[in-house]
Amino acid sequence: MTTAPALIPELDDIVRRGDPKRRAEAARRLGELFLQGAGSFRADHIDLFDGVLTSLVPHAELAARIDLAERLAPLANAPRHLVGQLAREDDVAIAGPLLRKSPVIDDSVLVEIANAKGQGHLLAMAERSKLSTALTDVIIRRGDRDVIRCAAGNAGAAFSDDSFATLVRRAGRDGVLTLRIGRRDDLPPEHLKSLLAGSIDVIRRRLHSVAKPERQAEIKLAMNEIEGVVAEVVGRDFAAALRAILALHRAGELNEAAVAGFAKAFKYEECVAALAAMTGVKIVTLDRLISGDRYDPILIAGKTIGFEWPTVRALILMRLGANRVPSPADIEGARVNFVRLMPSTAQRVVDFWKSR
């Protein structure tokens, strides 16, 4: 590659002694030259452009700097010092595209800018595809509502324990933030419980409905605990059962086979806790329904979850207890009713239970 002065006649003289207008024009022409050939330049070529452009670009017009920042933002070989210079601009129209996308800005530079600039800069950084805990610590500490919501909803953001605690505290006054935090796969269980504890019931139900299926059981179990069901419910203690079901869920083993095993072992608390987690119905509601005089709630819950008849039969026998044997006619009647029960009908009943 030729030297920079050969790229644009009298460039060296312009850099040293040129008036602002000549410098601005040189910046435009040299910037365009770099962008046209960026894919083929070696590291020493880029360094040469970097050194010259950092002296010229500040003299360019606002529109030219905005255009240059937008075009440099996605480039993995953009001039590092020039990018840093533009990213530190007070005007978010210039800094924003680079803070949002540029892969050449060091994390330490991002943290420096996050500590020094305003909410527009923080919002741009909150939209980056990856955010370190060092950066999110600053963003969560300094950000306003929109910035915090954006960071919380960014799947590529990593948060420290302190930042999660701050997010949960702020979510107590912000239903949108609660939903965004609650849907994060990396939210620790203790913070999920605190998040739900500080939310109104309608937000809890909304969070449960929008969460990923694998997270719904954990949310429901945390809600059950918050609602005081871990203690005695109608003379029963569900604390150990809830812990067991939560452990199965986290291991990916909360399924029909596990419920069937609990039923065959006549483990009532584990069966009810599992059905509560899998249907989204409050454990106190299911306990009251299942311990009643009819087996219909078991048929409805089983149909909604998608259980096969042998598992539902085992649950019916568990409900009766080890010392009671139902008549063959009762069991056959239950089987027929289960087969005839439409999943859509069962789901409507379960939705009604959820509202209770």
pLDDT digits (tens, 9 = 90+) for 164-195: 999 999 988 788 998 899 889 899 888 888 88
Give the per-residue pLDDT at 235.
56
- Per cent of the chain over pLDDT 90 is 45
Instruction: Considering only residues 136 and 169, tell me which one the structure prediction assigns the higher pLDDT.
Output: 136
pLDDT-derived band at 319, boundaries 50, 70, 90: confident
Instruction: Indicate the average pLDDT of the chain.
Output: 84
The 3-state secondary structure of the chain reads CCCHHHHCCCHHHHHHHCCHHHHHHHHHHHHHHHHHHHHHCCHHHHHHHHHHHHHHHHHCCHHHHHHHHHHHCCCCCCCHHHHHHHHCCCCHHHHHHHHHHCCCCCHHHHHHHHHHCCHHHHHHHHCCCCECHHHHHHHHHHCCHHHHHHHHCCCCECCCHHHHHHHHHHHCCCHHHHHHHHCCCCCCHHHHHHHHHCCCHHHHHHHHHHCCHHHHHHHHHHHHHHCCCCCEECCEECHHHHHHHHHHHHCCCCCHHHHHHHHHCCCHHHHHHHHHHHHCCCHHHHHHHHCCCCCHHHHHHHHHHCCCHHHHHHHHHHHHCCCCCCCHHHHHHHHHHHHHCCHHHHHHHHHHHHCC
